[in-house]
A and B are shown apart, each in its own frame.
Chain A
């Protein structure tokens, strides 16, 4: 009897091209993705059916915490630097290089000018805790612009086309938002983007 020889087939699949493509895709996503910048406080935006995305380009983010504390910042570090210089000049404050570095590492400004230097001298771990108790004051200074308005004006001076995006917690009282918006309206800033999460119209 002749031996039946079963031919053994090599089931090895060459994965190299696949891993090539994968690496390319991975690189693409890693480079194009924009990560969420850490915010000083956790804010849950309300839901809406609006499908409009946050505009591309320069946006001045204003964050309102549930307690009504206000933080502000933009992703462009050059703008932040220019804003810092405008503000420190206006308050005749001088920051040392470490403090400036800490300022630029922070995603948002949230300290009153009188406490800014002390806040920026803290350790980065401590800063994240302390900023939650601070917030930009909106009280007008001797009947003139408030610190909040001065920050917005500084941002507007750096880039006249900057857009204002307001992100407030859904539990923030309207009073706080109204106060903040009327400060902006006083400066003739009447167009805002309200940041929301998507929901469908059928949900209630």
Chain B
């Protein structure tokens, strides 16, 4: 009788349910995964000209007038541009435009140089093709090759052997502009693959010209 009782003793189930724990772990992992990838901000490289006068004079290279565009960044998110070198006698050479694809980018891409080409449009087109090659499904292009091709493009050497002139953009933000405006302008340089750009200060001639043209 006693023996029978012993054998009928209920077996305790020692298995623990892990499902809630796994649930929680999943949540935590998602949290950490999202946090780590989002926490790393982007950076934009910027090299400013040196304030040292000696260096500046040596490094100043002369570019053709039709290869130059000057941008004036003003108050209230407004922006003005001069295609070519500024003509300090004639304020009408300062034209208003806007930020974004319909503004500065259009001005840059539609700019025709004295050789009768639109270098920015051509370079942008070539860059698009290059990007397509890079992201193609069976692309074997390495990062180094891509960077090499890109730097060639920026120098104006198109893949079909054509050589286009490169543009030089002078960005002159006014004191009334915001930091956002400056970054937006730099951004357009990046989008348009313009290699030669500089952020410059406004000198007295500029100030007189833009005051006449109504820039503020």
A residues at B contact (CB < 8 Å): 12, 15-16, 18-19, 22-23, 25-26, 29-30, 32-36, 45-55, 64, 165, 167-178, 181-182, 184-186, 188, 190-198, 201-202, 204
Contacts and interface: CB of A to CB of B under 8 A. Distances in A.
- Return the 4 tightest CB-CB contacts between A and B, nearest first: A15-B18, A170-B180, A29-B32, A22-B25
What does DSSP make chain B's interface, helix, strand, loop or mixed?
mixed
B166 to A, nearest CB: 20
Contact of B191 (A173, A188, A196, A201): A201
B174 interface: yes
Given A48-B186, A170-B178, A173-B177, A190 B49 contact: yes
Contact of A191 (B19, B46, B100, B174): B46
A165 B42 CA distance: 11
Interface centre among B26, B45, B73 (most CB of A within 10 A): B45
Given A25-B29, A30-B32, A48 B41 contact: no
B141 interface: no
Contacts, number: 164
Given A190-B47, A204-B101, A174 B39 contact: no
A196 B183 contact: yes
A152 to B, nearest CB: 14
B136 interface: no
Given A15-B18, A22-B29, 12 more contacts: A15-B22, A22-B26, A29-B33, A45-B41, A48-B187, A49-B191, A178-B175, A185-B49, A191-B46, A192-B45, A197-B41, A198-B42
A32 to B, nearest CB: 7
B43 A193 contact: yes
A34 B182 CA distance: 29
A177 B109 CA distance: 29
Nearest to B36: A33
Given A174-B178, A186-B51, A32 B36 contact: yes
A19 B21 CA distance: 7
A196 to B, nearest CB: 5
Interface of B: 15, 17-19, 21-22, 25-26, 28-29, 32-33, 35-36, 39-52, 73, 99-102, 173-184, 186-187, 190-191, 201
A202 to B, nearest CB: 8
Contacts of B45: 50, 52, 191-194
A167 B176 CA distance: 19
Contact of A192 (B15, B18, B29, B48): B48
A52 B191 contact: no
Contact of B179 (A22, A29, A173, A184): A173
B6 to A, nearest CB: 25
28 contacts: A15-B22, A19-B22, A22-B26, A25-B29, A26-B28, A26-B29, A33-B36, A46-B184, A48-B42, A54-B41, A64-B179, A165-B43, A170-B179, A172-B178, A172-B179, A173-B176, A174-B179, A175-B175, A185-B51, A186-B51, A190-B49, A193-B44, A193-B46, A194-B183, A196-B41, A196-B42, A196-B43, A201-B191
B52 A188 contact: yes
Nearest to A13: B19
